[in-house]
Structure 1
Amino acid sequence: MTTNLETRWQTLDHEWQTVSRALEHALNTHHDLSLSEYRVLAALEAKHDHHHRMQVLADLAGLSQSATTRLVARLEAQDCGLLARYMCPTDRRGVYTEITPTGLAKLTRARQTVQDTLAGLWTGRDTPTPA
C-alpha cells in the first residue's frame, strides 16, 4: 500500500524528471550543452571569484569526481574554451576550475533558455512542494 509520503515523493520525482528532460532537451538543442554542463557553469559563475576546487564543483553539480573531471575536460578543450583548470598555488594536489569569459557568455545565453523553458513548464501550474 502506497503511503502519503511515498505518493508525495513519487509526485516530486515525476516533476523533477519532467523538468530535467525539458531542460536537457532545450539546452542541447539551442546551446549544445547538457544539463550537467549548465550546472557546472552556473556553479562557477555564482562564486564571486568564478572558480572552485574540483571536489567542491563535483558536489555542487551532483556528479562523481571522475564524471566532473571528464565534463571539465570537455568544456576546457580548445574548440570549447568555456573553462580553464589550474593547480592550487598552496596545495599541489588541489586543482581548480574557473569559468572563462567565453563560458560566462555562453551561460548568459543558456540561462535565458532555462528561464523560458521553466516558464513554459510552470505557467499556470503550481510546483509541488515537499511537506
Structure 2
Amino acid sequence: MTAPTDLEQRWQTLDQEWQTVNRALEHALQQHHNLSVSEYKVLAALEAKPDHHHRMQVLADLAGLSQSATTRLVARLEAQDCGLLARYLCDTDRRGVYTEITPAGLTKLARARATLQHTLEALWTPSTATPHD
C-alpha cells in the first residue's frame, strides 16, 4: 500500500476544512435565514453586479451549479412567499433570461451576510480563552 503524497495530504486537509466550513455555514444560514449556501451565493453574485442582474447561464457558473439546479433555486427564491429574485426576458435576445435580486433579496442578503461573517469569525478567529489552572 502506498502512502499519500504531500500534495494528496494537502488536498485532503483542504477538503476537510472546506467541509467543516460549509457545514457550519449551511447550518447557520438555514437556522437563522432559511437559506442554503447555494442560495446565499446566488444572492451575493447578483448583489455584486452594479445592475443587480445576471443571465441564468452566468449565474449558474458563478454559483457552481448546473443550469437546471440554478433554475430550480431561482424559482424557489422567486416564489410569491419569498420574492427575493425576479426573472425577465432579455429585450434584445428573447432566448436570454435574466435574474435580478429584489429589494427584499438585498435586505435578506444583508442580514444573512452578518450571520455568515459571525460564523466565519467563530471558525477562524483564534480563541482568546485561557485554560483554567
Q: TM > 0.5 between the two?
A: yes
Moved over 3 A (4+): none
Q: Deviations over 1:6-57 (max 9, x none)?
A: 0000000000000000000000000000110000000000001000000000
Which residue of the partner structure matches residue 119 of structure 2? 117
Cα deviations by residue, 1:71-91 (Å, 9 ceiling, x for unpaired): 000000010000000000000
TM-score by length of 2: 0.93
1:102 match: 104
Matches within 5 A, 1:46-125: 46-124=48-126
Counterpart-to-counterpart distance in 1, 2:118 and 2:110: 13
User: SS at 2:43's partner residue?
Assistant: helix
How many percent of aligned residue pairs carry the same amino acid? 81
How many equivalent pairs are there? 125
Give the distance between the partners of 2:26 and 2:39, measured in 1 at CA. 10
TM-score for both structures, normalised by structure 1 = 0.94
- Counterpart in 1 of 2:131? none
Max radius of gyration: which structure? 2
User: What's the RMSD between the two structures over aligned residues?
Assistant: 0.8
**Structure 1, unpaired ranges of 5+:** 126-131
